Every structure is written in structure tokens, then in C-alpha cells.
Structure 1
């Protein structure tokens, strides 16, 4: 016969879909922890609570962007200075996309993102900024008329792709490259279809394109047809025309 101590100690602990046994069991119940006002606030940093935050970010993003007209995401460096040829190209691209019937989505920051948002807003279009929480202050630029700030990069990335019909990629740094290669991977693996990608600035992208062709493809790490997943141009009208035509407008 089991002792009184054994009868008081459960063999397993069930909390919703989670089963804990042996050394993984925790003291107390979920309700007890919820209603207990004593102790620290460490629970707001634990993974189950993070899941709720992640869920709320998806809900907020979907809710804010669900009624967007057809849109194009424009990427580029936050360090692009106003008045430079790259900045002015971003303004012209943003304006051209609106005139072609598209909203413009950027990361909402300064530089090339600001330029595209500026062109879109000055053309009377929908200028979207999807910001991200960073260790240093940045915030949405003044030319965003619909903005959403995110804690998590992967939620933000989903919004860039889900609500855009294509990408225009201006010269940029690691963040720009991250978005570019994610988009290329999604198209290559057919996770998205009819998704044109245009790289603006042949001089800037020449080295990368050469490496893709002469190393990646040459060594069999990608197929020659993968180089057709994107276009490279220096012409604003061509960039707008390529991305909007292939997007189905």
C-alpha cells in the first residue's frame, strides 16, 4: 500500500497541453500563479508570455494592413543621405509606384526608406512604415501615414511579404541583404508566386551578382535559372515598370 506521502505526490502534472513528470513538475497551479500578487514580475519575460506577445503582433499587423491596396515593399539603407542620387531615386520610385496604383511599404526608418515613403506620400498614396524595436532610437519617419511598430523581426518580415506584390531593393546593408535573400528563397522554393524582385543600382549590386554567377552557380550551389529571379536596373521607370507589370497590374 502506498504511503500517505506517495498519495499526496502526483505522478504527473498537466497544465493545458503540457505534461510534466518527475523532476520537471512545478509547485502550485496556473491559477495560483495568476492570482498570487507576491513575488517578482519575471513571468512577463518567460516564453509562454512571449508567445502571446508574438500572437498579438501578428493580429495587430494583419488588422492594420489587411485592407491595403496592392503594395510594393521598398528596401534600402537607413544611412542613405537626403539629397544624394540614391535618396532622390528612392523618392522617384515611391512616387512612381503610387502613380502605378500601388501602396509603398518600407521599414519606416530614415535614409532610403524615408525616401520611398516621401515619394509615396507626396504623390498622395498610402505610405506604410513597418518599424522594429532596436537598441538605439530610430522611430518612424515623418512621411509614413500608416505605421506599425514590431518587437520581433520575423513578424515584421511576414508583413513585408504577405502584403506586398514585389520588392524593389535599393543599395543597403545587412538588413537589406537579409530581406533580399529571404525574398529570393521564398520565390525559389515557390512559397510565393508572381513576386518580382528588382535591384536598383547596377554599380552597387554588380559584385554580388557576379559572385552569385561565378561562385554560387558555378559551383553548383544554385541553378543558372535562379539568376532570373531578379532584375537589375539603373532606370527608375524601368524598375517601377518591371515590379508592377510582373505583380499583375
Structure 2
């Protein structure tokens, strides 16, 4: 179940017509006495029949809200639109909040990864994608739009820095430890870390952000514990269980964002991102991740996916289609100039354009926070 008490990074709902938790529902009814014009998303209202019968619901919309038959009949009579919950789905297409790790991995302890919400949703996706069912396509689109709406609300006014990198970076390696230290350092500067939400470099950065409120030795101990399950292959169950052991041993970690996709179903989400915006459509996920990195993007060594992300981010910077170009920091000179020479092409694109002062190449993750601060300052003084 969605945890309605999860902290929100962005603004409150005070001036919002969307109601996404039972607490918000009660506050609106108590304070305004009316639900007219409101949108209620995926809230169980079976215990709020009296409130629904008493309140004005003219022009309201109820998306996936369970309610008693007499309450449903009354709000329809008021002119409200009611989209009832859809049975037998492993996910909620009308959800009002992002996923939590506990929600996506529910059932892990009892039946392993195969019975979790994440695994069952991927299985449903594979089946319906093969059938080319228009109804399933509509449900996927509704879900992804709801996730984007929840992500926008969560990050309203929040400075976000993206950390991109490959999924193959294994736990127990120095590269993984470096990415975790980077996530911690960025989070401690007051930035919200966002990643692609998967394993490898993405998990390491989310782990670092999770470790930020804890004393420094905590991260070293967590890295040692995680190294016992270095990869999500051959067992996602063991890999995820190690992460939840870290979360259990050191609770109340720092917040961060993970934005993964079921398109790459072999690649599970990592449990260290406090808020997970998981999508069916990978294109929507890729663009949405980069567009929300308002404080800059850090590119760790990766392969084809990371190269794509570099130029996906460079394109709006080149045309300044999102306003002021966002800082871009590429990490590992040899990787980006010799192994996969993206840096020379990026420099050629940036020449004589305003993005020229917002890109840099560094040798190690330890240089990133200062490089990012320097690029940000150069943009503010321009």
C-alpha cells in the first residue's frame, strides 16, 4: 500500500485541487466543506461515506477511489466523474504518489523478488505488450502520466542534480564506492540527488544520498555489507535483501529520487531512492529525468545508455530550449576521451555557445562538487 505519511520534498497541497491521501481528503472536507472541482486520486473512501453524502461534489473527479455504493451513486448524481478501481492489476494506474521501495518490493521476504509488485508489473507489461491490447496501452499511459504529475509535485522548487552512469558497476568495487561518496557529498550540499533508479552507478549515488545524514563510517560499513551480493544477477532477491538490511540497520536515511523503467525489466529498481518514479515508457522516463535535473547533471563512466543521456541533455542546452543551460560534469577523462570519446564532440557542440561555460571534464568523483559549484557560479555571473 502507498504510505501516505512519506515526506514530501516540494510544496504542500494547500492551493492544490488534487487530493492524494486520506489526510488531505479530511482536511479539505473539514476546512472547506466542499469537494467541488477537486480531483481525488486513488484514496480508499469506503470509511468516508458520511462525508461524501454531506459534501458538495459538483464537478469533482474520483480516480480509482474505492467507495460504498450509495456514496458512489450520490457523487454521480452531483455530476462528479467516477473512474472506479480496476481489479486484478498489479499496479494502480491512478496513483497519486510516487512509489516507495517498500511498495515495489512488497513480498520480498516471504516469496522472493518474483512475487513483488515490481516483478508482477513487469510480467503484466510483457504479456500485454505482446498482445498489443489498446486497453492495456491506455492503462500504461494513465499510469505514466500520474507518475509524472506526482514527480512534478514532489520536486516543486527543489534543486535537483542528476547522477548518470551504467548499471554494470558492481558493489564492492572502488568505482561503486566513489559513486556513493559522490551522492553523499552532493546531498550534503543541499541538493536532491536523482538517478535512473536502477542498479550499479545509479544505486551507488542513491545509497550515498541515503547515507548523508549518518556519520561517515556508516557508508563504509554499508558498502562492506552490500559487497556480499555484488550484482542483481543471478539473484535479484539476494541483491535487494542486502539493500533492505542496510536500510534496516541504519534507518531514517536521506531522501533521493530514482526514475527507473519497466522497459528494461531485467534491471530492478534500487531500494535506496526514497521516492521512485517508475515508468512503462522509457522515452518518457529518459526525458523526464534529465528535464528535472535543474541544478546540473553528472555523468559517470557508462556505455550506450549514458552516452545517449549526455547528448539528450546537451541538445536542449545547445538550443537553450529549457532556458539557461544546466551544468554538465563528465567524470573520468580517459573514459570520455579515449574509450568512448563523447567529450570531444560535446566540446565541439559547445564551442561559441552559452553552454560552453557550463560543461567540464574531471578525473575523479572527488572533484565533482567543486566543479559543479564553479559551473553554477559561471552561469549566475553570465
Q: Same fold (TM over 0.5)?
A: yes
Contact 2:262 2:278 in 1 (8 A): yes
Where structure 1 has 5 or more consecutive residues not aligned to the other structure, the ranges are 1-40
Question: Is 1:61–2:148 an aligned residue pair?
Answer: yes
Give 1:202's match in structure 2, choosing from 322, 333, 336.
Answer: 333
When Rg is computed on C-alpha atoms for both structures, the one with the higher figure is: 1
Give the equivalent residue in structure 1 for 2:243: none
Question: Is 1:181–2:181 an aligned residue pair?
Answer: no
Task: Look up the SS of the partner of 1:182 in the other structure.
Answer: helix
* Cα separation, 2, equivalents of 1:167 and 1:210: 14
**Structure 1 residues 55 and 134, CA, compared in 2 at 3 Å: closer, same or farther?**
closer
Taking only aligned residues, the RMSD between alpha carbons, in angstroms, comes to: 2.9
Give the equivalent residue in structure 1 for 2:277: 148
* Deviation for aligned residue 1:157: 1.9
Give the equivalent residue in structure 2 for 1:87: 176
Give 1:224's match in structure 2, choosing from 351, 358, 377.
Answer: 351
* Deviation for aligned residue 1:243: 2.4
Give 1:158's match in structure 2, choosing from 287, 290, 297.
Answer: 287
Contact 1:92 1:116 in 2 (8 A): yes
Contact 2:359 2:375 in 1 (8 A): no
**Structure 1 residues 189 and 138, CA, compared in 2 at 3 Å: closer, same or farther?**
same
**Structure 1 residues 247 and 71, CA, compared in 2 at 3 Å: closer, same or farther?**
farther
Q: Which has the higher contact order (CA 8 A, sep 6+)?
A: 1
- Aligned pairs for 1:117-132 within 5 A: 117-124=206-213, 125-132=254-261
* Deviation for aligned residue 1:51: 5.8
What count of residue pairs does the alignment treat as equivalent? 202
Contact 1:128 1:145 in 2 (8 A): yes
Contact 1:196 1:242 in 2 (8 A): no
Structure 1 window deviating more from structure 2 (90-99 vs 133-142): it is: 133-142
Give 2:267's match in structure 1, choosing from 138, 143, 159.
Answer: 138
* Cα separation, 1, equivalents of 2:264 and 2:328: 30
Contact 1:87 1:112 in 2 (8 A): yes
Give 1:240's match in structure 2, choosing from 362, 369, 379.
Answer: 369
Cα displacement string for residues 80-110 of structure 1 (whole angstroms, at most 9, x for unaligned residues):
1122222122111100110110111111111
Contact 2:318 2:350 in 1 (8 A): no
**Structure 1 residues 230 and 150, CA, compared in 2 at 3 Å: closer, same or farther?**
same
Cα displacement string for residues 154-212 of structure 1 (whole angstroms, at most 9, x for unaligned residues):
21123212321211000001111111110011100111224001001111111215652
* Cα separation, 1, equivalents of 2:275 and 2:343: 38
Question: Is 1:115–2:204 an aligned residue pair?
Answer: yes
* Deviation for aligned residue 1:237: 4.1
* Cα separation, 2, equivalents of 1:225 and 1:52: 46
TM-score for both structures, normalised by structure 2: 0.47
- Aligned pairs for 1:28-107 within 5 A: 45=132, 50=137, 53-68=140-155, 69-107=158-196
* Cα separation, 2, equivalents of 1:235 and 1:196: 17
* Cα separation, 1, equivalents of 2:207 and 2:151: 20
Cα displacement string for residues 190-238 of structure 1 (whole angstroms, at most 9, x for unaligned residues):
112240010011111112156528xx94xxxx46336835211024343
